[in-house]
């Protein structure tokens, strides 16, 4: 699967702020119409109405024969090749605006049938566009190197597409004939059935129970309230929400297993069809990332799990618990300094924290916050979680949030802002065909923002207790983003390895494997509840995305190195970082990151991150004594 002068941001209507507090603490979720417009996306920036969307949909559909008309020509002469590349860029940019409008609309109201229908139409059109252009890669691969040089000499406009063309040529060993590629493209909607079914089930139809709130009232569990409850000091409440959340997952666990195995089967089948030995290699190949980067991460982390075990021991000791359970791993050890953060306050803090990135970066972020780039609050039937999304063709990137006034929300917002600014600078600098960037580097930009925010807050800490709480924030971040996502990556690796050998796992086996890995990572201090084993079904990234999660860990490690360099070196490091944000996909992600100063093909950034966690553990233990 992102994103102002300080005084201007903190001066808001008292009535508005109090209204938001009511929304975030209400016992039932507000309706979307209850939220002031300034806290919601303005989708009319993309299309003035659904009718305008439908008109553009029809116009793009009418372009399908024009795409097919290039078949048999692009390998024959430079003029047709250039015309095809330009036509592809135009159609893709227009289609992306169709797609983001339908996607954002659907995610703000999963019960809205109009947006659901539009989204389904987009999926179908995506398949048709892919099928219409499926001849292109095989034909481009027919072009000999010497012929390509002649083409570029004849049509210098092809220089702008040279890296893209070379990237296509690199895929030749894993590309089928034109007819076979067309057939695969036509089948692509079928491959999305499991993921789309999971979306509806997980985000709209799970029958979550109610639990007793801290004031004794009945509270219906939701995804957003689950996240917030893990930070609650009332242990009985967070335990009840934690266990209650998994009741519907347990009831439907065989359904989730069938959906997950459907995705595993799709990945393995696609890898085999494309002549890859395994789906991990298939997933990493297009970005030219060696499988050794994935495996080095798992190996280095497994060799250093004692650091996470050490953190588990310290949490149990400070919390004075007889047993440490999964629902005890996020609650603050220092509740006396625990703060609530309204959205408006958080925006002001974030804008101060990103000042080390320079005036241009801050100005762009400020403009986004002031112009409805963020959809802030959790409402009825809104998609859970948070993300950044961009069409690459305007009007700008968008951020989805589900605000609950926690520090976690503050850090999530700056995380998604990092994604948004990455998209903003790439789209501003690169031609459309290079405006996007690999997921491998995406999490670097987001986590760099988090690192800068943490350093800013630590520098502003006025008491020993506040500083300890912020050190704890880093440790929890390392636990959740670095170790946890590596654990997910190891789970994915193991499940697919077994499936390659013909062993597709039952729901019980998936649950046991997930629980066993949780126990291994956290060590003997942890008491792994049965519910934690079920949580593989609750993680959307495992179901929906293709070996995505390891990049959170590599991105976290790279971000620690970059944020330290930016603050120590100043302008030289800032310039390299802004060049990194502006590079898009104009080079392979490993190379883009190397130019920024971090080499993820080596274990060094991984080990440095673990050493940083140990350093903070040393400091926290010393302060506690």
Whole-angstrom Cα distance, residue 379 to residue 368? 22
Note whether 297 and 426 are within 8 A (CB): no
| Token pair for 80 | 């047709």
**Cα 130 off chain centre by:** 24
What CA–CA distance (Å, rounded) separates 315 from 475? 11
By the 8 A CB rule, do 449 and 558 touch?
no
- What pLDDT sits at residue 497? 96
- CA Rg, the chain, in Å? 24
Nearest to residue 591, comparing CAs of 306, 287, 176, 378?
A: 287
- Exposed e or buried b per residue across 528-549, where buried means at least 16 C-beta atoms within 10 angstroms of its C-beta: bbebbbbbbbbbbbbbbbbbbb
For the record, the structure tokens of 98 come out as 């169709």
Say if residues 531 and 326 touch (Cβ distance below 8 Å): yes
Q: What is the pLDDT of residue 267?
A: 93
Q: Are 437 and 585 in contact (CB under 8 A)?
A: yes
63-191 topology per CATH? Butyryl-CoA Dehydrogenase, subunit A; domain 3 (1.20.140)
Residue 353, token pair as written in the block? 């924290």
Q: For helices 113-132 and 50-61, what crossing angle results, to 10°?
A: 20
Tell me the H-state helices in 209-342.
223-229, 235-251, 253-273, 279-285, 291-302, 306-319
Helices (H), 109-144: 113-132, 136-140
Q: How many CA within 13 A on the CB side of residue 415?
A: 18
Q: pLDDT at position 8, please? A: 27
pLDDT value for 24: 40
Q: What is the pLDDT of residue 456?
A: 95
User: Residue 526: phi, psi to the nearest 5?
Assistant: -80, 140
Q: What is the pLDDT of residue 27?
A: 54
Domain boundaries, the chain: 63-191
Its pTM stands at: 0.79
| Positions marked active-site | 416
Beta bridge partners of 388: 399
Residue in the structure block whose two tokens are 């959906």: 259
Q: What is the pLDDT of residue 443?
A: 86
Quick one: pLDDT at residue 13? 25
The residues of the chain scoring below 70 in pLDDT are 1-27
Q: Which two tokens stand for residue 23?
A: 């929304």
Three-class DSSP category at 70 = coil
Q: What is the pLDDT of residue 25?
A: 43
């Amino acid at each position: 699967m992102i994103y102002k002068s300080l005084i201007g941001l903190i001066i808001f209507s008292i009535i508005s702020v109090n209204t938001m507090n009511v929304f975030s603490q209400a016992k039932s979720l507000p309706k979307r119409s209850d939220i002031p417009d300034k806290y919601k996306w303005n989708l009319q920036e993309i299309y003035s109405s659904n009718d305008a969307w439908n008109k553009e949909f029809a116009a793009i559909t009418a372009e399908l024969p024009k795409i097919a008309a290039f078949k048999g020509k692009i390998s024959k002469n430079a003029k047709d090749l250039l015309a095809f590349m330009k036509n592809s860029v135009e159609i893709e940019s227009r289609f992306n605006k169709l797609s983001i409008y339908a996607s954002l609309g659907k995610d703000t109201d999963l019960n809205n049938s109009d947006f659901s229908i539009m989204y389904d139409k987009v999926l179908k059109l995506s398949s048709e566009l892919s099928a219409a252009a499926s001849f292109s890669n095989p034909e481009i691969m027919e072009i000999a190197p010497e012929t390509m040089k002649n083409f570029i000499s004849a049509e210098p406009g092809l220089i702008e597409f040279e890296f893209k063309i070379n990237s296509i040529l690199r895929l030749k060993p894993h590309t089928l004939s034109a007819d076979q590629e067309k057939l695969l493209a036509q089948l692509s909607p079928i491959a999305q059935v499991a993921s789309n079914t999971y979306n509806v089930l997980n985000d709209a139809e799970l029958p979550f129970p109610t639990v007793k709130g801290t004031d004794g009232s009945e509270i219906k569990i939701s995804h957003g309230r689950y996240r917030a409850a893990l930070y609650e000091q009332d242990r009985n409440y967070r335990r009840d929400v934690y266990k209650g959340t998994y009741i519907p997952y347990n009831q439907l666990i065989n359904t989730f297993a069938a959906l997950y195995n459907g995705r595993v089967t799709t990945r393995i089948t696609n890898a085999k069809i494309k002549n890859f030995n395994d789906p991990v290699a298939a997933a990493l190949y297009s970005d030219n990332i060696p499988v050794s980067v994935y495996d080095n991460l798992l190996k280095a982390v497994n060799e250093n799990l004692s650091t996470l075990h050490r953190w588990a021991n310290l949490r149990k000791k400070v919390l004075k618990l007889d047993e440490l359970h999964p629902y005890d791993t996020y609650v603050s050890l220092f509740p006396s300094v625990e703060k609530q953060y309204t959205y408006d306050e958080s925006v002001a803090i974030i804008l101060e924290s990103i000042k080390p990135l320079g005036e241009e970066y801050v100005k762009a972020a400020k403009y986004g916050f002031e112009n409805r780039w963020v959809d802030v609050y959790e409402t009825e039937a809104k998609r859970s979680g948070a993300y950044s999304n961009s069409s690459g063709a305007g009007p700008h990137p968008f951020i989805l949030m589900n605000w609950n006034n926690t520090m976690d929300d503050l850090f999530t917002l700056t995380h998604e802002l990092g994604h948004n600014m990455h998209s903003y600078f790439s789209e501003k600098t690169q031609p459309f065909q290079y405006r996007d960037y690999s997921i491998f580097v995406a999490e670097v930009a987001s986590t760099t923002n988090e690192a800068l925010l943490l350093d800013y807050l630590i520098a502003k800490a006025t008491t020993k207790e506040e500083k300890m709480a912020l050190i704890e924030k880093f440790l929890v971040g390392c636990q959740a983003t670095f170790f946890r996502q590596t654990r997910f990556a190891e789970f994915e690796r193991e499940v697919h390895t077994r499936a390659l050998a013909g062993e597709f796992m039952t729901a019980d086996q998936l649950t046991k494997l997930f629980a066993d890995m949780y126990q291994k990572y956290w060590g003997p201090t942890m008491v792994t509840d049965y519910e934690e084993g079920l949580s593989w079904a609750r993680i959307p990234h495992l179901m929906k995305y293709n070996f995505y999660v390891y990049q959170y860990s590599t991105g976290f490690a790279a971000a620690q190195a970059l944020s330290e360099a930016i603050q120590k070196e100043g302008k030289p490091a800032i310039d390299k970082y802004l060049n990194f944000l502006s590079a898009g996909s104009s080079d392979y992600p490993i190379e883009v990151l190397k130019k920024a100063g971090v080499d993820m093909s080596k274990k060094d950034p991984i080990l440095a991150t673990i050493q940083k966690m140990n350093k903070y553990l040393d400091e926290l233990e010393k302060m506690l004594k």
